[in-house]
Structure formats: C-alpha cells, structure tokens
Structure 1
Amino acid sequence: MRYLALLCAVLPLWASAAVDYQIKITDPDQHLADIQIKMTAEQAGAFSLKLPAWRSGKYQILDLANGVRRFEARLANGQAVPVEKTEKSTWQLQLPAAGDIVVSYQLYANELNQRTRHIDDTHAYINASAFLMYHDAQRKDPVTVSLQVPQGWRSTSGMTRTGDHSFKAADYDVLADSPIETGIHQSFTFKADGRDYEVVFWGQGNFDAAQTVKDLEKIVLQAGSIWQGYPYQNYLFIVHAASGARGATEHLNSTVIQRDRFSFRKREHYLEFLSTAAHELVHTWNVKAYRPAELVPYDYLQPNYSKLLWISEGSTSYFQNQLLLRAGLMTPQEFYTDLAKRLKRFERTPGREIQSVAQSSFDNWISLGGDHADNFSVNIYSEGYLVSWMLDHFLMNNSGLKSNYRTLHNELYQRFGKTTAFTAADVQKIAEDLTGKSLADFWLDQVETPLELDAETLLTAAGLQLVKPKPTEPFTGLTVQADKTGAEISKVERDSPAWLADFSVGDQIIALDGLQLQTELAERLKDFPADTAIKVTLFRDGRLLERQLTPKTQPAGSWQIVPVAKPTRQQKAYYRAWLGVDLPSAK
C-alpha cells in the first residue's frame, strides 16, 4: 500500500508545536493505526500519559483505552524508557533525564456508533479523545497532528489546516473537540453570513447531497434569530451514511451526523436528519461557547457531574425545530406533530413523577436502561425540552413578550461566551434581569422537583389546542417483541394493568385464554371486550406461568395540535414572539 508523505517529516522534531502527533493508517481492513507522539519532558522521573475515558458530548464513561496495543516510549536517542500502566487509561514513564521523548502505540479502531474511532478501507474517523494521549502539564500547549493515509484519501477537520493531511490546534482540548474525517468522500463548500462552511459525505445511500447542502445553508442562517455573533469563523458538517449508523455529536466548530444509508428519502426521515443538524449547530453556542461550570474544564478520566445538562441538551432540542420552522424547512403542522408526540410521551412516562430534570442531569452518567428508564427516571433531552418551553413562557409572560428563551440564551452567550462557564444562579439572574421577576420558585418547582407540565396553558397562550382521540384500543402497559413462539416483553409501564398483574421484562407470552399467540399481541387483544380479564400463559426463565390481565382502553392514534378557530390579537402576538413566524389560520 502506498502512503502520502508526512509534511512534517522534513521539519525539525519539535519545530511546529510543543506536542506533535502522527497517525499512520497501517492496515485499514483490520482497523489498525500506528500512533507516535513527540514531546518534551521538563524533568526526570515519573511522566504520565493519559487517554480520555470519555469524549465531549457523550456524558458516559466509554473506556476508550481498550484499543491501545504495543505501547512503547523512547528518548530522542532511541534509548528505551521503562513504562508501567498504573490505571486503565494511564501509562507512567520513568524518565532517566529531562528532554525529548517519543511515544508509540498501535490503535484498534472499529467503533462507529459511539463516534469515537473508526477505520476501514474507505475512511478513518478520528476523534482525538479515542486516539491521542496527553500529559497533564502539557494539556494547554499547542499541538500539531499529521496523518499518513492511503493514496487518494482526503483529510478535513475544524482545526487549522497546515497541509493536505496535517492540522494544528491551540491545545489538547481543541484537538479533542475537533475530529478529523479522512478518506474517500464527497465535499461541498458554501459561504453564509461571512462564514465558511464545508459539508463532507462519507458512505453511500439515498441522500441528495446537493439539496442537503442547500438546506444546511438555510439552517445556519437562522442562528442570528437566537444569538448575536458567532463563536466560529469556519464550520464543518461531517455526514456518515452507513448501514445501521446512528447518532450525532457536536464539537467546537464541527459536527458528525450518522444515519442509516437509506434513511434520507422519506420526508419524515429527512426532517429527522435536518433536526439533528440543527441540534448540533445550536450546540456550537449552547455547550461549546457556554456550558455549565461543572464541565469546565473537562476531566477526561472522571465524570463531570452537573445538574444543568438539561440546558445543554434539552434546551438544544427545544431550539432545533424552531430553526427549521423559521427557515421554511418544516411546516407549522410538522412542528405541531413533533410537539404533540413529545406531550404524549411525557404523559406515558411514569418516571416524570419521580425524577426531576436536575436529578436526571446529574445521573446522566449512570442513566438507567430497560423498562426502568421510563418508569423511574426521565431523560435530559425530552424533559429538558419541556422545562425550556415552560421557562420560555415564564419569560414572555413576565416581560410583556419583550423577552423569551432565545433572549436568555443570547445573554448566556454574551456574558459567558469567553469564560465558558455559567451556573444555575447565572441563569436565574438573567431571567430576573429580563423580567423583573424572581425565578426561584419556578426553579424549585419545575427544575429541582419533578415537572408538572401545564401544556394547555402554554398552547392556549399561543392560540393552539391539543386534540386527543377517544379511548378505543386496549392498553396493557406492555412493550413486546414478536418472535416465532410468541411475544417477549421488553418493557412494563409502572402502575399499568400489566405491572399490577405482575408481568416482568423477559417474560415470553405464548397464549391468551388457552390459544397460542400467532399474531401481534396488540391485534390479538382487540378480540376481547374492554375491561375483560384475560388468562395469559407465559414462560419466565423456562418456567410455565399464568397471569390474569385486564386491559384498560386508551386513545388510538396520534395526538394533534391545531390552531384555535378565532385566535385573539394577543395570541397571535404571543405565537410570533415564541416561534418567530405568524400563527397559521385554522382549517
């Protein structure tokens, strides 16, 4: 395999930066790369190198060091340096003297959906948190990174380019928040409001690249509806289209968005992609330019606990579709449909009665899974969205529509865009400055305490109303996955008929009233009159059991949000202050 030469190879060892990283894609089919780090130790003795245990934008420990192999360290003259691994993500060198050192190791990179590291025969996605180690005392020193890649590959990043396959950054934190995409891909550029944008597509699928770029341009132009000013001069969208790909992550002046390769053509799927792109763009301000004080600086080996992650994620979710609405990429009805789904999900989440959004933020590092996730907790995205909506209402209602939640976030940017860190007290102070009203009671009742959502008041203020279908279909509280022999339970909603009848996750339902289950459980339940006890036969851990289940009825179909027939002038004004567009007429 032929490789492109490293531009820095002809330069002195430390000519360009205090720390120099070199990444060589050695065997893309086996997902392997060789890493070399060149740095200077100020004194003899113990010298520790660390690889982060998590990456920004993913508030969970990922144990990224599990891909490191063949770690070695040498002095500039080639003398080997003793190395001992002292912690799962820490390698300690014993240096005989101060001076230049060279560290090398092999890295296995075959993880795509966590958006940390992936190498194959067509590309490499490089998040430095999962590739490159740092020394604590040199974390704020300037760095360079250079790549050796297969012939025909192209490299791009949000960092400053110094060559076709080399970049520089002010320090390790910038490097760790500026992923590199290198490989065979499509690249597009455009300018908007004096900023330079690049959109890179890796993979094949049913996306329309040219149209997508046009729509992204419309989205970025809406940033001014929230913030005055930009935290970047150039911005990079990285789009991965691959089988089973999912998720997205924000970075300092870039984002990576992953979608299944055939999830772009349908309108609803494409809107999901655009919403994700808007979400990640919002993060460039909310979480990158300003973020909760507990996240400053990042502790790459330990969790950065904060009760404000709901602002980082939930408020970002709250803004994402507003950008699409104002850009004309989403219709008002599509906006209402998404909001109605969120309200329905909130009502069907028993955990909303137990956990506050502040508690959910703190516990995000140990977030629950399975049926307990909804039964005993809430998530910072959906719950944070609704708390943001209520806070928006508080601001508009108490300022005569002169201020809103966008105003508050612009103030966060203006006040903390340079220092980065803000606190809960800062948010409350801004709200009080904008309204003359204390936010203390709201914060206690809706942020620190489980949310009591008054959706009717919020919708009515905007000239909207919620319409629920009449209860017509059986409700058990069960979520099941069909298999050849019946249906396996994957979730049991707390206090539902199934919960009260002692059903459990993992139970395999095989028969109803003595007849084998041969169709979808939801369809079979429709054969029984409402409020009728049904004998359910199931296997639990290989044991044959029976349970009595009495379904209730629930509304069949989707909830809807529609404009009221005759909105008042005040409702129209509120709607415009809220969303930045005019309230459509009722049909």
Structure 2
Amino acid sequence: MKKIFSCIFYIILLIKMDLNASAAIMQSKINYTVTFPEAQAHYTHIEMTITGLTQGFVDVKMPVWTPGSYLVREFAKNVEGFVAEANGEKVAASKTSKNTWHIESGSASSVKISYDVYCFEVSVRTSLVDASQGFLSTSGMFMYPDGMLHEPSTLHIIPYQGWKTVSTSLEAVGGDPFTLYSPDYDTLFDSPIQVGNQDVFDFDAAGVKYEVAMCGGGNYDKGRLKKDITKIVEQETAIYNDNPNKRYVIIVHNYAKGGGGLEHLSSTVLGATRDGYTNEATYHNFLVLVAHEHFHLWNVKRLRPFALGPFDYEKENYTTNLWIAEGFTTYYQSLIMRRANLYALDDHLKIVADNLSGIDNQPGSKIQPVSEGSFDAWIKFYRPNENSANTTISYYNKGAAIAMLLDLEIIYASKATMCLDDVMKYMYDEYYKAKKRGYTDAEFKIALEKFTGKNLDDFYKKHINGVDVIDYDNYLNYAGYKLVNTLANRNDAFLGISLAPITGRNIIASISRNSPAWVAGVSANDELLAIDGASVSDLDKYLAKKKPGDQIELNLNRDGIEIKLSITLSKNEQVKYSISDTGKASAEQLAVRKKWLNL
C-alpha cells in the first residue's frame, strides 16, 4: 500500500513538473528552430519567432563575446541572409550597428527572423558544424531582442540526417531531447549544445548526475574516467560543501591533437587528444583540464568578481580579478589531483616549481602587475604577439603562485587548522549564496585578511598591483621546504632569441628583453642566415660551445636585405626550480606540510 501511494505521488509530481515547464513555454515570447540544411558546408539555419510585440519595431542583437573567454570575437561576422517577416510578409530590416538589426514590425504582434550562421572554427568557444556533428557555442549562434535578456526561450532542433543525440545542460521539454528550454539568456549563452552521434555515458558523483559526451572517438576507458572524474568532483565539492547542480554535462571534443577548455554554469567543453588516453602523461593532463574547468562551476560561475555578471554581451566586461577567477583555479587543479591521489607528491611539487620557474623566466613578470594583466586580458592576453613575453604576465600562472603564497600563509597563521579552502567557502557562502552578487576587489582582500590574520596592503602593493620579486622561500619555509635553482652554478652563454623554423628557414620568432640580441637590434621576423660565417642547424648546440663574453657575428636577412650584427654573449640567467626539504623541519612545519599537501 505504501509503495502504491509513493508511486502515485511521484507520478503526480512528475506531471506537475511537466505542466510547470509547459506553462513556462506558453508564456515564452521567444522561440527558435534550428536546422542544418547545409551541414556539410558548415552552415546552421536559425528561425527566431518573437511574440507579444507592442511598439511597432524590435531590435535584435548578436553577442560579441562568450563568457569565460575574454576577447571580443565579433560573432555577427558569421551571420548571413538575415530576413524578417510579419504576418507572412517580409518587413523592413536594417543593420544599425555591427551586431544589431532593426526590424519594423508595424502593427504585428509577432515577427519571424531567419538567418544563417557559418560555423567552422575549431575551439571550445566557437561553433563547428559539419556532416558528422554540430557543436553550437550558443553565444555565437542565437540573437536576443534588445532589453529582453531576462526573457525565457525555447529551442527546437531538427537534426541533420543521421544525427540522433543532443548533449546540453539545457532542460528537455516534454521528454523530447530536441526541444530545449532556457529561463533567460544568461542561461542560454552559458549552455553549449552538441548534436550528432556522440558517445554518451553517465555516473553519479557528490549527489549529482554527471553526463559525459565523447565526440570524435578515442581510446578512452569509460570505467577509468568515471572513477577518476568522480574523485575530482568529490574533492572539489568538499571545499564548498555544496554542489549547486542537479545535472552537469561534460562535452569532450577529441582531435588528432587537442586541448583547452571553457567553463559554463552547468557544463564544460573540453578539447582532448583522441588517442592520448592510454598515455599516462596525456591522460593526467586531461584530468587536470577536467579539474580546472569543473572547479569553475564554483569559482567564477557563482563565486565571481562583481563585473562578471550579469553580463553585457555587447562590450568588454572589465575586472582586475582574473588572477583569482583563473589563477586560483589553476592552483587548485593540481592540488585537487594531489588530494585525489591522482598525482604523487613529487609530481605535484614539480608542477608548482615549474610554474614558479616560468614566471621568473618571463621578462613581462617585471613589467605587468597581475591585476593589470586581468584588466587587459581583452587586448593583450588573447591577442599575443612576438613581444608579449616581454610585456605581460599570465594571470593563470601568476595567480596560481599568489594562491600558493596565501594558502601557506593561512595554514601557518592558523596552526594548520585552516587553509585557502576556508576563504573560498566563506566567499561562496557570503556573496553567492547570501548576498547573491559578485565580490569587489576590496571584499576579497578583506576575506583574505580575515583568514591570514594580516593586513595585506603591502602584499597587494608588491605582488598584486606591483611587480616586486617574490621571496618564495619565506612561504615555503612554513612547510619546511625551500626553492632550489638547479641551474644556479652554470655558466652558459645567452643570445636571447627563439627560432620558428619555416620550410627550412630559421626565422626569428621573438627576442628576450634586455638580452644581447635585444641590445644589438635583432628583430622578430629576421631570417638567421649564419653565425660567424657558417650556417647553423642547431642554435642551442652552437651556443653550448660558447661562454659569456664571447663575441659572435650574425648574418641576417631582413626584408630581402642582408645585414650583419656583432653581438657579445651574456650569461644565461634563466632559472629552473625544484622544491626541496630543508632537512630540519620542525613539528609545526610538518603540520603545515601535511595540511598543504594532503599527506
């Protein structure tokens, strides 16, 4: 009797939920139909219907960027054949800005808009359609009516011939996986859609249903992936003691050689190497990518800088806090692998040391503060050139280093009872859950001061808003470790150029700031013809025979003109760090180490 009652109760509940979804759709003013009449030529056709119009016109807009990738990409450039109709008749429509179309709807209460989108860019942030599959990066596909970002919408997808599966975090309507509902545009633009014949498998982790869609084949082991991703999910959920999703979708695009990822509210899109899953190093790199993008479902998608939501889809959304949003996430990606026992201790410490080496070897680390690197991501980080290493620093790498310093400071100050996790959970609870908004620079700094027990004005001045050299040993010593430069005693000669061999020619790709080549006037795009009158097939091998102070003569081809430059080589000051035990760690230091590294 009890079982019968329970079944009836759940049937009524499901019917009620379905009716609620149906009611929401009936109230919806915006509907899309998506077809692929020329998928083989990389085109998607979209019909958009807007109802409930009262003012005689409507403006529709295409976003210019996608959240999580801080670059104006001008998605409207891919739009063709824009047509508007009302009451079955074509109506006047004109383009009034790079991403805006003005439609004269007259007395009609609804309009139908049709347009094609060219989808042929391989990345996790752009759409790609061909005869085998369709990946729709929604912010670059769907226009929105001006002033109606809060409105719900429905999407009906008519698949290309032979396509049978849809993977997305958007909810299906009425049991039809090809009919999807979005409560607003922030959700729609944060919910990519994969259509085709991807291999889909699922599992439960931290009380959430996880769905993995493998696109493009691959030599992956589903059982191993389920087990290892579950470990990552549970370790990350434990930090916040909350997993805000009921369902989370991981879309993986497998290529001959792939990488990269983009976070979304309840999903992520990852690039991977199709046949790399049986190579341990490549497989672990994939898991690190999973750990990074999944950590974003808290850090940036919910716990976020104030500027990153609600979004303005027409222009840059500036923040100085990407060193937290991306840098802290980069720090945690390796730490989570360590906590999940997917990384051995030595492997994790090597990753930390390598990151510090990369920062100190980049001349731009002495030029650009990490807060400025965050703010200028729109014009610098995503638009690198031959001089970028000399002028910029990655908020991913520098932010991860800052996170490590603060983590060790908190563990030390709390006598190994707290760590950076406590800051992240506090901020998540305080700003996402309680205040339901993003944080400001000052608010995050106050939280860090709360847990470090220190005024961080000087720290911020030197390391966030400044470019002072970081005394890593000061922090590592809290855990009984020290940083060792394994190249400290070498006396190698240094020229300061990197080569990009192009069809057998040694083309100079970049020049290191203040290097001998920089001082002598060597330029990127010069062709290195000879050194000391002889052609050089292996520059590193040639320089290994030289010592600091030696003079060499370079023959260069610059725009068809041969020039000669005399250069005096300097000492190579680049570092290669490792993290070593001091050999005399106290009980207090060992306690910090245990807390930090999950020993």
Q: Into which bin does the TM-score normalised by the smaller protein fall? A: over 0.9
Match of 1:199 in 2: 212
- Which structure 2 residues correspond to residues 87-126 of structure 1 after superposition, within 5 A? 87-113=97-123, 115-126=125-136
Pick one of 105, 129, 132 that aligns with 2:139.
129
Match of 1:22 in 2: 33
The secondary structure found in structure 2 opposite 1:421 is coil
Match of 2:506 in 1: 487
Q: Distance in 1 between matches of 2:280 and 2:178?
A: 37
Match of 2:471 in 1: 454
Q: Distance in 1 between matches of 2:205 and 2:240?
A: 15
Conserved 8 A contact 2:235-2:340: yes
- Which structure 2 residues correspond to residues 287-366 of structure 1 after superposition, within 5 A? 287-366=300-379
Conserved 8 A contact 1:19-1:38: yes
Conserved 8 A contact 2:124-2:271: no
Pairwise CA distance, 1:200: 1.0
Pairwise CA distance, 1:127: 1.5
Conserved 8 A contact 2:547-2:569: no
Pairwise CA distance, 1:61: 0.4
Conserved 8 A contact 1:248-1:255: yes
Match of 2:46 in 1: 35
| CA deviation string 1:445-478 (max 9, x = no partner) | 2211124322112222222232313315432221
Match of 1:6 in 2: none
The secondary structure found in structure 2 opposite 1:53 is coil
Pick one of 447, 460, 465 that aligns with 2:482.
465
Conserved 8 A contact 1:13-1:38: no
Change (3 A) 1:12 1:395: closer
One-letter code aligned to 1:508 = E
Q: Distance in 1 between matches of 2:201 and 2:353?
A: 36
Conserved 8 A contact 1:370-1:490: no
The 4+ residue runs of structure 1 with deviation greater than 6 A are 11-14
The secondary structure found in structure 2 opposite 1:232 is coil
Q: Distance in 1 between matches of 2:230 and 2:214?
A: 15
The secondary structure found in structure 1 opposite 2:135 is strand
**Percent of aligned pairs sharing the same letter:** 30
Q: Distance in 1 between matches of 2:25 and 2:187?
A: 19
Q: Distance in 2 between matches of 1:317 and 1:350?
A: 21
- Number of residue pairs the alignment of both structures matches: 569
Change (3 A) 1:533 1:209: farther
The answer for unaligned runs of 5 or more in structure 1 is 1-10, 583-587
Pairwise CA distance, 1:244: 4.4
Pick one of 515, 521, 526 that aligns with 1:496.
515
Conserved 8 A contact 2:216-2:254: yes
Pairwise CA distance, 1:130: 0.8
Answering whether residue 585 of structure 2 is matched by residue 567 of structure 1, we say yes
One-letter code aligned to 2:523 = S
Q: Distance in 2 between matches of 1:260 and 1:417?
A: 35
Match of 2:559 in 1: 541
Change (3 A) 1:210 1:282: same
One-letter code aligned to 2:55 = A
| CA deviation string 1:123-172 (max 9, x = no partner) | 11112101101013321112111211133420011111221212112111
- Which structure 2 residues correspond to residues 203-218 of structure 1 after superposition, within 5 A? 203-218=216-231
Conserved 8 A contact 2:366-2:467: yes
TM-score with structure 1 length normalisation? 0.92
Deviates more, 1:58-67 or 1:217-226: 217-226
Conserved 8 A contact 2:554-2:565: yes
One-letter code aligned to 2:39 = P
Conserved 8 A contact 1:50-1:135: yes
Pick one of 476, 491, 495 that aligns with 1:476.
495
The secondary structure found in structure 1 opposite 2:204 is strand
Q: Distance in 2 between matches of 1:411 and 1:257?
A: 29
The secondary structure found in structure 1 opposite 2:240 is coil
- Cα-Cα RMSD: 2.1
Q: Distance in 2 between matches of 1:111 and 1:148?
A: 22
One-letter code aligned to 1:30 = A
Deviates more, 1:208-217 or 1:305-314: 208-217
Answering whether residue 393 of structure 2 is matched by residue 378 of structure 1, we say yes
Match of 1:8 in 2: none
Q: Distance in 1 between matches of 2:326 and 2:167?
A: 27
Conserved 8 A contact 1:357-1:451: no
Answering whether residue 169 of structure 2 is matched by residue 158 of structure 1, we say yes
Pairwise CA distance, 1:16: 6.4
Change (3 A) 1:351 1:12: closer
One-letter code aligned to 1:391 = L
Q: Distance in 1 between matches of 2:223 and 2:25?
A: 42
Conserved 8 A contact 1:113-1:245: no
The secondary structure found in structure 2 opposite 1:139 is coil
Deviates more, 1:466-475 or 1:105-114: 466-475
Match of 1:390 in 2: 405
Q: Distance in 1 between matches of 2:356 and 2:504?
A: 35
Pairwise CA distance, 1:322: 0.7
The secondary structure found in structure 2 opposite 1:574 is helix
Conserved 8 A contact 1:485-1:510: no
Pick one of 568, 574, 584 that aligns with 1:550.
568
Change (3 A) 1:71 1:161: same
| CA deviation string 1:86-135 (max 9, x = no partner) | 11111111120251221111111111215221111221111210110101
The secondary structure found in structure 2 opposite 1:481 is strand
Conserved 8 A contact 1:536-1:546: yes
Q: Distance in 2 between matches of 1:345 and 1:91?
A: 46
Match of 2:295 in 1: 282
Deviates more, 1:153-162 or 1:260-269: 260-269
